[in-house]
Amino acid sequence: MEGKKVLMTGNQAIARGFYEAGGLVAASYPGSPAVEILESIKREYRQIYSEFSVNEKVALEVAMGASFAGARALASMKHVGVNIAMDPLMTFTQTKTAGGFVLVSGDDPGMASSQNEQDNRIIGKFANMAVLDPCDSQEAKDFTKISLELSETYGMPVMLRITSRLCHSRGIVELLDREEKPAEGFKPDKTNFNMIPPNTFKKQFEMKERLESLSKAAMDLGINRLEKGNGSEVLIITSGLVYNNLMELNLDMPVLKLGLVYPLPLDAIRSLASDYRRLIVIEEMSPFIENELKINGIECEGKSYFSFTGELGIEEIEAGLLRAGIFEESRYSGKMGEDKSVPPRLPLFCAGCPHRPVFDILKKSGRKVVGDIGCYSLAGIFPIEVLDTIISMGSSLGIIKGMAKAMKLSGKSEPLVAVIGDSTFFHSGMTGMVNMLHQIDPEDNMTIVILNNGTTAMTGGQHTASSGSYASEDDMHVDLEVLLRAMGFENVRSVDQFKYKEAKEAIDEEIKRPGLSIVIATRPCALRFKIREPHFYVDPNVCIACRNCIRTNCPPLRMKKYEGIEKLKSSINPEMCVGCSVCSQVCPVGAIKRADGEVE
């Protein structure tokens, strides 16, 4: 195995690095762009205990416990997931780590699949952690191993910060053999693990001292390097994938490539700065490195030439350097995008998705709907446009309650609806649900629809606590209706949304009912569980072109011209149809029939 070179995504490379480093325990909650790290560990490296926990806080705690027991441990999550894990993280970083610990944060410049664009280098600094920033798949693997070594050498949890482009792009990675690192077992040390006064006061000084020590050693670690150009008076400082994009410009300029972006090697940079007339920092999102240099008295430039948001590709870097006066003529700006002829494509619910009939029912209800985070967030955009708010995981339940209370106090009460998926409910919706029991008013008309499809569909179908409802091989089978009744809710009912008319009657009835109602929509994810029944077809001689079926927004449905019929009529692509029957049920004239001839 040693020396073999293969193509890997950044995510796969991190999984490989953890395996080679002797990692024993890994935990995560699925979230793009980092979800494939744990999927790769689960699929390729069975020596490692791995799990998708119910949320990022629990995932961090599982990995933290493994580190306490002397094992090398990894927790991975998307950038906003770190917010969920912040409570234990901020105290964990006070302790001196036993087994090496790496927290992988998948940041998303440009928000390709996220609700915001937070820069978690800032969180790393805030939590007093070292932050490493790899530039390609090989570095992603190498930096994972280095992170664990630094964690053990300096006694601190380390953040490996990656970005979405690096997570998903492929590069050549050299494979090495696994180095076994057995866990030494938990060695009780109350001064280190009991983070209550007076133990905590001493820890503040320890955190400061270890970061200062690491800063002094940073240029000797081999992950920060100076690439000397040919006689320029300008030094460019950069890190991560931006470094690779910068290299595409073939500049003959000195570049300081940082692998460790916090703490910075300030003494070394201060010494270098005296050799150059200008220092220009190129980094995506916030001016993190730029600000670190400035607050430490090192004069530099940066965000005045480059965007504060989105990715910095070759064009954007060149344009920024043009503004900075480094170039006089553009070679790429405005040229690389000349052939962008790919038509835009809206994201859609999958064929046979059980969420579609629920949103069709809610759209027809005309009620305000509070949304949440999941694949069903697609109902917030064209053409469905049912969801009126989407903020963060599990927030819908607190928001609908606050909204109901405020509207009542203003004399503007009206029935409100909130939707939340099963994975999101277990992640962070349960606390909001319990809070519903506090000062609940029978006149607060709220209907909660739990979309129980048995999976975390948005990120590729990882399990949830209720996956066992649909897959006997899954070891978690939390019955949502039993759970909600045990919490103290009485008005709970389940509906099969593929029985469209019955589901519509039930949801409409609950919306009209005063008080709090909970409707559990119970159909498994069509994509994960590969459900396929005989397909449907349209009889154009019966179809009246009312487009009721088209408005369900199912991908196989479209209007088309039939031979001998002047008017456009609906049609169904049999290759895409999974036979869910919803289109047939909303057809007012029975024009849509199952391939076996049955009319639903």
Q: Of all helices (H) and strands (E), which one includes residue 191? A: helix 190-193
Q: Three-class SS of residue 536?
A: strand
Q: Is 351:576 a contact under the CB 8 Å cutoff? A: yes
Phi then psi for residue 59, to 5 deg, are -60, -45
Q: Of all helices (H) and strands (E), which one includes residue 323? A: helix 314-323
* Nearest CA among 329, 255, 21, 301 for reference residue 146: 21
Q: Of all helices (H) and strands (E), which one includes residue 212? A: helix 199-217
Q: How far is CA 101 from the centre of its chain?
A: 21
b/e map 17-56, b = 16+ CB within 10 Å: bbbbbbbbbbbbbbbbbbbbbbbbbbeebeebbbbbbbbb
Angle between the N-to-C axes of helices 10-20 and 137-154, in degrees from 0 to 180, rounded to the nearest 10: 40
Q: Would you state the structure tokens that stand for residue 272, as one six-digit string?
A: 């270098």
Q: What DSSP state is assigned to residue 97?
A: P
Query: In angstroms, rounded to a whole number, what is the distance separating the alpha carbons of residues 248 and 238?
Result: 14
Give binding residues as ranges: 543, 546, 549, 554, 577, 580, 583, 587
Residue 90: burial class (beta carbons within 10 Å; 0-12, 13-18, 19+):
middle
Q: Is 474:444 a contact under the CB 8 Å cutoff? A: no
Task: Determine the residue type at 546.
Answer: C
Beta strands of 308-437 (E only): which ranges?
Answer: 368-370, 387-389, 416-421
What's the per-residue H, E or C state across 304-340? CCCCCCCCCCHHHHHHHHHHCCCCCCCCCCCCCCCCC
Query: In angstroms, rounded to a whole number, what is the distance separating the alpha carbons of residues 8 and 168?
Result: 9
Q: Give the end-to-end CA distance of the chain in Å, rounded to a whole number.
A: 57
Angle between the N-to-C axes of helices 240-247 and 314-323, in degrees from 0 to 180, rounded to the nearest 10: 80
Q: Of all helices (H) and strands (E), which one includes residue 315? A: helix 314-323
Give binding residues for [4Fe-4S] cluster as ranges: 543, 546, 549, 554, 577, 580, 583, 587
